[in-house]
Amino acid sequence: MENEQGLRKQPVYLLAIETSCDETSVAVIEDGTVIRSNVVSSQIETHKRFGGVVPEVASRKHVETMTRIIEEAVEQAGVQLTDLSAIAVTQGPGLVGALLIGVVAAKALAMTLGLPLIGVHHIAGHIYANKLVQPLDYPLLALVVSGGHTEIVSVEREGSFRILGQTRDDAVGEAYDKVARALGLPYPGGPHIDRLAREAEEAIPLPRAWLEPESYDFSFSGLKSAVLAALNQARMKGRELDPGAVARGFQESVVEVLVEKAVRAARATGAKQLLLAGGVAANRGLRDALAERCAAEGVPLLVPPLSLCTDNAAMIGAAGYLKYRNGEYETLSMTASPTLSLEAWSLADSAGRTDGDAESERA
Amino acid sequence: MENARAYRFSSRNEAETGRLAGALAQHADPGSVLALDGDLGAGKTTFSQSFARALGVRAVVNSPTFTIIKEYEGSELPFYHMDVYRLSQEEADELGLDEYFYGSGVTVVEWASLIPDLLPAERLTIYIETGADGERQFCLTPSGERYERWCIGLRENGVLA
């Protein structure tokens, strides 16, 4: 495509590293869109016994597994370290101890191989995971839903991010996990609630948090409290609520608000595509409802396969490639930035970005 | 540790919780640590949000459960918002929490009772209990002279009982 002048261009291989929270992952990406390898060391088994994801364990795991996973990713990609063009790494946001391990590994590689170093915003990665699946059409709208994030992001052109809304309290994945725990379901709770909700014939009535009429922000803390209150009230009367009805009531409330706000934002920004990103994109109830609304609105819905929705390094390579092409490199003094702002991470020449620092307040 | 006396505050809504948070924030100085506890949904994050606002944090303060620690800039002091819900004490030990506790900012730790050995000996412990009709009872237990002074000050101003 890009070689029309008959030049046989060498492919650009980016090695990407992601350690922002609970996964150690390394990928090799060719020309920003082709996944040559994407190795993820899922730590779910270790975490189960705690009823939650334990980042300290993860942090230590990152150190233990980093070298092995780098080797594996390079080997699976069928490339040599000397074939690489740049090293991309998640710079933030995330847990500082976890981020650090990836950043240090990336710097070491960049220094020894004499390659450019690219810092990547984790959410930009989630959004650009979609580019590994199909071409993107701007302006687009992204709904990012995961254990730590719930954001509506407008991407007016390539690499230009504007946060329209975000959670004011719990992230959607976190709300799922906490409700699942209250229902005595195993970790991770999301898939269990999703399944129970779809099998249930009834739903207990639960509130929807719409916030101010114009707002694209979310709030799931009140819904979580409403679920707990319903469970407690039933218990005090010596009854147990049907977990399926609770799951369905909860999921309907979450999905309705997510879908409604995302579709309204897509309409308001004239989005040509709606992207679903983040681990909660695996939720069937959410995907089905969003697909239905998007079809009615005539907006194509993009949902990457699950392996690219949960944290992985391939998405970091896809987003990092934007900065590679733009020549936006970091020096070896780059540090992990737990509160990195997405808007400030936008490409330097992207429209609509006047002053990244002024916008970083919404980090 | 000596068994300090406890102070009480009851709140019927977020605005009243804000009154307590605001009064506490006035006393905040570098190295202040508030240890928050209470059941899921008791209102720990709501309290933390009010407290952050009172410190002049303008950014959105949302749940730190997933990332454990979130840092913010207040008007005069940094604000460190922690949530150790997902941690055991051994695991939290390696996160270097002391850097925050004894740092230049103000720290609020949600689910603090999960890491009793890691908390500074001097701190203000706040336990939130949910009553009927969404009413919240705040029980404040100061450890150390600094926090005794805070509580006495708040009682004299009629905030605490």
Query: Phi and psi of B29, rounded to 5°?
Result: -140, 175
In a domain, A4, yes or no: no
Say yes or no: A299 and A340 in one domain.
no
Tell which of A47, A49, A56, A215 to mutate to test the B interface (max B CBs under 10 Å).
A56
The SS3 call for residue A32 is coil
What are the residues facing A109 on neighbouring strands?
none
Token pair, residue B65, equals 């459960």
Question: Is-contact A81 A113, C-beta < 8 A?
Answer: yes
Q: What is the mean pLDDT of residues B61-88?
A: 88
Tell me which residue has tokens 């490409």: A347
The pLDDT value given to residue A50: 43
In a domain, A5, yes or no: no
Task: Decide if B62 and A166 are in contact by the 8 Å CB cutoff.
Answer: yes
Q: Which residues of A219-252 are buried (b: 16+ CB within 10 A; e: fewer)?
A: bbbbbbbbbbebbeeeeeeeeebbbbbbbbbbbb
Q: Which has the minimum average pLDDT: A204-218, B65-79, B87-101?
A: B87-101
Q: State how far residue B42 is from chain A, nearest Cα, in angstroms.
A: 8
Count how many pairs of residues, chain A against chain B, have C-beta atoms within 8 Å.
Answer: 91
- 3-state secondary structure labels for all residues of chain B: CCCCCCEEEEECCHHHHHHHHHHHHCCCCCCCEEEEECCCCCCHHHHHHHHHHHCCCCCCCCCCCCCCEEEEECCCCEEEEEECCCCCHHHHHCCCCHHHHCCCCEEEEECHHHCHHHCCCCEEEEEEEECHHHCEEEEEEEECHHHHHHHHHHHHCCCCC
Find the closest chain A residue to B89 by CA distance.
A56
Q: Does A360 touch chain B (CB under 8 A)?
A: no
Q: Does A339 touch chain B (CB under 8 A)?
A: yes
In a domain, A270, yes or no: yes
The SS3 call for residue A199 is helix
The pLDDT value given to residue B33: 97
CA nearest to A115, candidates A66, A68, A79: A79
CA atoms of A189 and B40, how far apart (whole Å): 16
Task: Decide if A56 and B65 are in contact by the 8 Å CB cutoff.
Answer: no
Question: CATH number, domain at A56?
Answer: 3.30.420.40
Give the pLDDT of chain A (363 residues) as one tens digit per residue: 444 555 667 899 999 999 988 788 999 999 999 999 999 886 444 444 444 444 445 566 677 788 888 999 999 999 999 999 999 999 999 888 889 999 999 999 999 999 999 999 999 999 999 999 999 999 999 999 998 899 999 999 999 999 999 999 999 999 999 999 899 998 788 999 999 999 999 999 999 999 999 999 999 998 998 999 999 889 889 998 999 999 999 999 999 999 999 999 999 999 999 999 998 999 999 999 999 999 999 999 999 998 899 899 999 999 999 999 999 999 999 999 988 999 999 999 764 444 444 444 343
Of A57, A168, A228, nearest to B60 by CB-CB distance is A168
Q: Residue B31: what residue type?
A: G
Task: Decide if A95 and B69 are in contact by the 8 Å CB cutoff.
Answer: yes
Question: What Cα–Cα distance (Å) separates residue A42 from each residue in A24, A62, A124, A191?
Answer: 7, 11, 21, 16
Question: Is-contact A299 A274, C-beta < 8 A?
Answer: yes
In a domain, A247, yes or no: yes
Say yes or no: A299 and A313 in one domain.
no
Task: Decide if A339 and B96 are in contact by the 8 Å CB cutoff.
Answer: no
Task: Decide if B66 and A96 are in contact by the 8 Å CB cutoff.
Answer: no
Crossing angle of helices A243-269 and A284-297, in 10° steps, is 30
Residues in A touching B56 (Cβ below 8 Å): none
DSSP state of A183: T
Find the closest chain A residue to B45 by CA distance.
A169
The pLDDT value given to residue A58: 57
CA atoms of A21 and A205, how far apart (whole Å): 34
Say yes or no: A156 and A252 in one domain.
yes
In a domain, A82, yes or no: yes
Residues in A touching B49 (Cβ below 8 Å): 168-169
Determine which helix (DSSP H) or strand (DSSP E) holds A17, and give its type and residue range.
Answer: strand A13-18
Contacts from B13-20 at CB under 8 Å and sequence distance 24+? B13/B134, B14/B46, B14/B50, B17/B43, B17/B46, B17/B47, B17/B50, B17/B136, B17/B138, B18/B50, B18/B53, B18/B54, B19/B159, B20/B47, B20/B50, B20/B138, B20/B159
Say yes or no: A164 and A268 in one domain.
yes
Say yes or no: A163 and A65 in one domain.
no
Say yes or no: A118 and A198 in one domain.
no
The pLDDT value given to residue A305: 92
DSSP state of A187: S
- pLDDT digits over B111-146, tens only? 999 999 999 999 999 999 987 777 899 999 999 999
Say yes or no: A17 and A55 in one domain.
yes
Domain residue extents for chain B: 7-156
Confidence of residue B90 (pLDDT cuts 50, 70, 90): confident
Say yes or no: A120 and A142 in one domain.
no
Say yes or no: A213 and A332 in one domain.
no
The SS3 call for residue A272 is coil
For A207-260, the DSSP string reads -----STT---B--HHHHHHHHHHHHHHHHTT----HHHHHHHHHHHHHHHHHH
For A318-342, the DSSP string reads HHHHHHHHHT--B-TT----TT--H
Q: Does A178 touch chain B (CB under 8 A)?
A: yes
Find the closest chain A residue to B94 by CA distance.
A56
Q: Does A300 touch chain B (CB under 8 A)?
A: no
Residues in B touching A21 (Cβ below 8 Å): 66-67
Q: What total number of domains does chain A contain?
A: 2
In a domain, A144, yes or no: yes
Q: Does A204 touch chain B (CB under 8 A)?
A: no
Side-by-side strand order, sheet with B33-37: B7-11, B136-143, B123-130, B33-37, B106-110, B78-83, B69-73
Can you state the percent helix, strand and coil of chain A, rounding each to 5? 45, 15, 35
DSSP state of A348: T
The pLDDT value given to residue B39: 87
Say yes or no: A206 and A297 in one domain.
yes
Side-by-side strand order, sheet with A24-30: A34-41, A24-30, A13-18, A86-92, A117-121
Residues in B touching A148 (Cβ below 8 Å): 66-67
Of B39, B41, B95, nearest to A56 by CB-CB distance is B95
Question: What residues have CB less than 8 Å from A351, skipping those under 6 apart?
Answer: A156, A157, A160
Find the closest chain B residue to A94 by CA distance.
B67
- The model's pTM: 0.83
Of B63, B67, B91, nearest to A93 by CB-CB distance is B67
Tell me which residue has tokens 């495509």: A1
Of A21, A148, A182, nearest to B40 by CB-CB distance is A182
Task: Decide if B87 and A54 are in contact by the 8 Å CB cutoff.
Answer: yes
Question: Is-contact A266 A274, C-beta < 8 A?
Answer: yes
Does B86 or A225 have the greater pLDDT score?
A225
Say yes or no: A161 and A275 in one domain.
yes
Say yes or no: A124 and A141 in one domain.
no
Residues in B touching A54 (Cβ below 8 Å): 86-88, 91
The pLDDT value given to residue A350: 62
CA atoms of A119 and A111, how far apart (whole Å): 14
Determine which helix (DSSP H) or strand (DSSP E) holds A316, and give its type and residue range.
Answer: helix A313-326
Question: What Cα–Cα distance (Å) separates residue A264 from each residue in A127, A182, A216, A261, A302?
Answer: 19, 32, 9, 5, 17
The whole domain housing A149 covers 137-303
CA nearest to A119, candidates A34, A16, A207: A16
Domain range B7-156, CATH architecture: 3-Layer(aba) Sandwich (3.40)
Find the closest chain A residue to B57 by CA distance.
A361
Among A303, A327, A354, the domain boundary falls at: A303
